[in-house]
Each structure stands twice: as structure tokens, then as C-alpha cells.
Amino acid sequence: MIAHLRVARPVSDLARSTAMYRDGLGWSVLDSFEDHQGFDGVMLGTEGAQYHLELTRARGHALRPGPTPEDLLVLYLPDAAQWRAACERMLAAGFARVAPFNPYWETQGATFEDHDGYRVVLQNDTWSNVAPA
């Protein structure tokens, strides 16, 4: 089965969140929509990948995001130089570096939080979808 993963996050400021995630993660705007049944949205990711991040805003509804410290978007970056560069981009884009709730993520990673309280972990490690034998 071939599937595509979409992670959707409602945000309080669509333009600000789009710029932060685009610049911080180095992703592209893949698509966007305006006033689709009262919602605006932007899809970010890497062209051709089997995933993307969708940021949405409901028109006429003030959003008060309620993420917990364990609501994480985790990205594995095995190359140390690329990982360091990505961490620098996150800070330059406006993310704050925060201590993770789960100390596992501090061992080989860095945790960042956006203006709505959503967290992104950049993990300097590899991960595979192949189950161990």
C-alpha cells in the first residue's frame, strides 16, 4: 500500500506560521487555498515526498491552540552538518529552542517551539520503517 501522510495543524497566524515552517525547515509551499468552506490553508513540504504539513486557519474563529509538550513533529537528519544548519535555520525563522518533556529527544536532538506552542524535534539520527527481524 502506498500512502501519503498529511499532518494538519490549526494555527493562529497563517502567514507567520507559513514563514516560520517554510524557512525553518527549508521546505517549499506545495499548495494553498483560500476560503474553502471558511478555511484558509498552506501545504508545506519537499516536492515528491510522501508527506506534507498543512497549516490551516478558520475564518471568523479565534484560535487558541492547545498542544501539549508531547505533540511533536519529529524529523530525522542523520548528517551532523545538515542537522546543525537546520537547527540554526529554526532559530533564525523565529522558533524558540526549548527543553523537551521527554529527555530522550535531548540525547541526539534539539526541540523547537513555534508561537502557538507546537513543537518540532530535529533528531541527529537515522530511522527506518523496516521492522527488526
Domain regions of the chain by residue span: 5-58, 72-123
d(CA 63, CA 10): 8
d(CA 128, CA 112): 23
Give 53's DSSP letter: E
pLDDT in the model for residue 33: 96
* Superfamily (CATH) of domain 5-58: 2,3-Dihydroxybiphenyl 1,2-Dioxygenase, domain 1 (3.10.180.10)
Residue carrying the nine cell digits 478558520:
58
| Cell of residue 62, nine digits | 479565534
* Superfamily (CATH) of domain 72-123: 2,3-Dihydroxybiphenyl 1,2-Dioxygenase, domain 1 (3.10.180.10)
Domains 5-58 and 72-123 share a fold: yes
Contact call for residues 68 and 61 (beta carbons, < 8 A): no
pLDDT in the model for residue 123: 97
Residue among 72, 53, 46, 51 at smallest CA distance from 14: 53
- 72 sits in which H/E element: strand 72-76
Cβ atoms < 10 Å from Cβ of 99: 9
Q: Which residues does the chain have with pLDDT short of 70?
A: 1, 132-133
pLDDT in the model for residue 133: 65
> Which segments of 27-67 are extended strands (E)?
28-36, 39-45, 51-58
- 92 sits in which H/E element: helix 80-92
- 113 sits in which H/E element: strand 109-113
